[in-house]
Structure 1
Amino acid sequence: MVNIYLVRHGKTMFNTIGRAQGWSDTPLTKEGERGIIELGLGFKAKALTFDLAFSSDSGRTIQTMGLILKHSENEGIPYRFDPRIREWCFGSFDGGYDGELFDGVLPRVFVENGEEQSFEAIANAIYEVDTAGWAETWETLSGRILNGFSDMAKEAQEKGAKNMIIVSHGMTIATLIKLLQPDKPRPHGLDNGSVTHLTYENDHFSVFKVGDMSYREIGKKIMSEKHDDH
C-alpha cells in the first residue's frame, strides 16, 4: 500500500491579492514560504520519509517541494514534474481577479443556463466564455487530472514505495477528491500547505483526510519555540 501525501502549494502573491492563478504563476510570499517550512518541520517531527516526489511543472509547486524536502530532511529522493497535475486553466481569465470570474462572469453564465455550480458546470462555463481558446472542457480537465495522479500512484506501487509526496493546486486537488468520491460534496477551501492523505492499493485510491493542517500546526509550534529560545 502506498501512502500519498498530497499538498497544496504555499501561499503566493496572486493568492494574497485574490487573483485567479491557473496556468499563470507567481512565487511564494515570505508568509507562504514560512507556512511550507512549518509543513516540512511537521513532517520531520513525525519522522515521515518519502520514497518518491512529484509536483506540477508550475514554479509555485516546484518552490514548495524544494522547501518541504529540505525541512523534512527528504532531499535527494527521486522527484519529477508533471504538467497533468497543473491547476485548472482559466483561459483569458488567468491572472484576473477572482471576483471578476467567480462572482461576475460565471454566475451570469449559470443564470442563463440554469445550472448548479458543479465542477463540471464551472469548467464548461469557463470554456464557453474564454475568448483566448485556452481553457479546457470538463472532459479534458478531469481526464488529465485523474490520469496524472493515477499514473503516479501506479508507478509508486510498482516501485514498492511506502510513502510518496505530491505538490499540486487547490482546485486540482479538490477535483481529484470529487472524482474519487462523486457522492460526497466537493471539498471547499483547501488551505495553502494543507495535506490530503490518500492511499493506493491494488489500483484503487482511498481518501482519508482532506485539507489536514495538523502537520503545519506542529511545525508552527516548533518554529515558535525556536524563536522563543533566541
Structure 2
Amino acid sequence: MIEIMGFLAPFFMKTVNVYMIRHGQTFFNRYNRMQGWSDSPLTPEGIAGAHKVGERLAHMTFTHAYSSDTTRASNTMQIILSHNMNTTVPYKMTPLFREQFYGYFEGADSAQTWYMIGAPHGQKNLHTLLEHYTLDQTKDFMHATDPFHDAEDAVTYWTRLMKGFKMLREENRNGDNVLLVSHGTTIRSIADKFGKGQFPIEEGPKNASITKLQLTDSGINIIYYNNTEGLLQ
C-alpha cells in the first residue's frame, strides 16, 4: 500500500521483463552427471554459447542483472555482460535462483539416478516419469529416495524460489528489463508451474537458451521458453 493525500491506496507494480538464461554447457552437463548445488567449469562449447547469447542480447538495455551464486552461472553472466552496450548494469549473485539441490545424488550419473528414483514408480528415466507425474512429484520422489533426505522436496524448493521472485519484484518496481542466469531444472520448473500447459516441459531448456518471464501484479507469466534462435523481444 502507498499513501496518497492521506489515504492508503494499493501499489501497482509495472511489468518486469525477466530474460532467464540457462548457463553455458559444463563438464558435468557433457558427462551427463547430476549438477545441482555442485559445480563444474564451462566447457569450450559452453563459453562459446555464453558469447552467442551475449551477442543476441547486446542490443537490449537492462537495468539489473542477477545469477545464481554457482560459478557456472556467474561466469556465464560475466560473458553476457561483456557484450552489452550498457556496461554499468548492476549485478548480483544470489543463492535463491540456484538449481534444485540433489542431495546424495549430486555428481552422480544422471541416467542411473533417475532409474533409482523412477523404478519404485514403474518408470526407468526422467522422461517417462514426466509422462506420468509432475515435476514437483519428481522432487518429492528424489527427496524420499535420497538416503539422507537432503535433496530438496517441492515445498522446500518453491519456498526458496518464491523468495527470489519477491526480491526481483522489490528491486525492480519501474517496469525494468532484467537479466537472470539460472539452471535447467529451475527454468523448466518455472515454465511448468506458471506456463499453463503451453510449453513442452518434458524437454529441458538447452544451455544458453532464453526463457522470458513477466512479473505483474497478478502473477508470473511465461512469454516464451527455451528460445535459442531469432530476434528477441
TM-score normalised over the length of structure 1: 0.84
Read off the aligned partner of 2:168 and give its amino acid letter. M
Residue 44 (structure 2) aligned to one of 12, 27, 30: 30
CA distance in 2: counterparts of 1:81 and 1:17, whole angstroms: 26
- Structure 1 residues 93-118: Cα deviation after superposition (integer angstroms, max 9, x where no partner): 1101111112x201212229xx8331
1:15 partner amino acid: N
CA distance in 2, matches of 1:35, 1:84: 24
The Cα of 1:23 is off from its aligned counterpart by 0.8
Q: Which of these residues, 81, 87, 108, is aligned with residue 119 of structure 2?
A: 108
- Counting only pairs closer than 5 Å after superposition, residues 1-230 of structure 1 correspond to structure 2 as 1-44=15-58, 47-102=59-114, 104-111=115-122, 116-156=132-172, 158=173, 160-184=174-198, 187=201, 188-202=203-217, 204-214=219-229
CA distance in 2, matches of 1:204, 1:154: 14
Cα distance in 2, alignment partners of residues 161 and 182 from structure 1: 23
The structural deviation recorded for 1:36 is 0.7
1:77-133, Cα deviation, whole Å (9 max, x unpaired)? 11111112111111111101111112x201212229xx8331122111110111233
Q: 1:92 & 1:74 partners in 2: Cα distance?
A: 42
In 1, Cα distance between equivalents of 2:161 and 2:196:
15
Instruction: Evaluate the alpha carbon distance shift between residue 181 and residue 42 of structure 1 in structure 2; reply closer, same or farther with a 3 A threshold.
Output: closer
Q: Give the structure 2 partner of residue 224 of structure 1.
A: none
How far did residue 154 of structure 1 move? 3.7
CA separation of 1:91 and 1:186: change in aligned 2, threshold 3 A: farther
Separation in 2, partners of 1:168, 1:74: 21
CA shift for structure 1 position 182: 4.6
RCO comparison, higher one (Cα < 8 Å, 6+): 1
Q: CA deviation at 1:176?
A: 1.3
Identical-pair percentage:
30
Q: How much does 1:147 deviate?
A: 2.8
TM-score (norm 2): 0.83
Gaps of 5+ in 1: 219-230
CA separation in 2, counterparts of 1:184 and 1:154?
28
Query: What letter is aligned with 2:159?
Result: G
Structure 2 residue ranges without an equivalent (≥5): 1-14, 124-128
1:13-71 CA-to-partner distances (Å, cap 9, x unmatched) read 10011111011000111110001101111112xx2011001111111100000000002
Alpha-carbon RMSD: 2.1
135-144 vs 27-36, greater mean Cα deviation: 135-144
Distance (whole Å) between structure 2 residues aligned to residue 134 and residue 174 of structure 1: 21
Q: How big is the shift at 1:173?
A: 0.9
State the distance in 1 between where 2:137 and 2:200 align: 13
Partner of 2:5: none
How far did 1:185 drift? 5.7
Distance 2:42 2:85 in 1: 21
Change in 2 beyond 3 A, CA 1:136/1:186: farther
CA distance in 1, matches of 2:210, 2:64: 16
